[in-house]
Amino acid sequence: MKRNLILAAIVVLFLASASYSQIRPAERTEDTQAESPIPENLPETIETEYQGGIFGFSDKEKGILKFDMTNERLIFADEAGKERFSIPFEAIKVVYPSQQKVRSGTGRAVGAIPLPGASIAGMFMKKKKNYLVIQYEDQEVDVEGAANFLVDTADILTGAIHAIGQNAEMSRRGDSYIRKQTP
């Protein structure tokens, strides 16, 4: 009986102290440029692997993103240099990075070994995949889409986002670029 009374008193004191804690308001900085610096040497071409998202182009393929400043558009060309599709700068609404952790090839191979615990060890072997995501508006059919490109490293991804955002004259928000709507 005495033990239950002491336990109840401890629970009441714990709950009383938990209810006394106050939530602090989030600090908001007005200067979003201070979050991450813009790389000095922005790339003129970006080696990527197209993953999908453009209407009419569903196959994955390796290629290069190039800037056509004369016609104000972003071009995706295949490995042979042939233009596959383009996105006008004014159609781009948002450009942002996305990372996904996936099980590496080694992790899949280790997980398939018929030993106890091998599958658990294989689950911890992961690698990061860096994606460049471009949300755009297709004026021909009046729909919006999101094109996904796989990029090798996070540094190339950061440079690509800044290059696209600055060439398309978009506003920076954190680690992405957005096109503000005009009323």
Indicate the domain borders of the chain: 42-178
Residue 178 contacts by C-beta under 8 Å, 6 or more apart in sequence?
93, 94, 170, 171
Question: For residue 28, what pLDDT is reported?
Answer: 62
More confident residue, 2 or 20: 2
**Mean predicted lDDT score pLDDT of the chain:** 83
Q: What is the pLDDT of residue 92?
A: 93
pLDDT at 136 over 60: yes
Q: What is the pLDDT of residue 20?
A: 62
Confidence of residue 33 (pLDDT cuts 50, 70, 90): very low
Which range, of 30-39, 44-53, 121-130, averages the lowest pLDDT? 30-39
Residue 157: enclosing H or E segment and its boundaries? helix 154-167
- Give yes or no for residue 141 having a pLDDT over 60: yes
Amino acid identity for residue 113 in this structure: I
Asked whether the CA dihedral 157, 159, 162, 168 is positive or negative, the reply is negative
Residue 127 carries which side chain, given as an amino acid letter? K
- Please write the tens of the pLDDT for every residue from 50-60: 998 888 888 99
Confidence of residue 74 (pLDDT cuts 50, 70, 90): very high
Closest CA to 161 of 111, 101, 99: 99
Mean pLDDT of 95-109: 83
Between 21 and 92, the more confident residue is 92
Instruction: Decide: helix, strand or coil at residue 67.
Output: strand
CATH code of the domain made up of 42-178: 2.30.29.30
DSSP 101-155: EEE-HHHHHHHTSSSTTHHHHHHT-EEEEEEEEEEEEETTTTEEEEEEEEES-HH
Reply yes or no on whether the pLDDT at 32 is more than 50: no
The whole-number average pLDDT for the span 149-170 is: 90
- Higher pLDDT pick, 107 / 153: 153
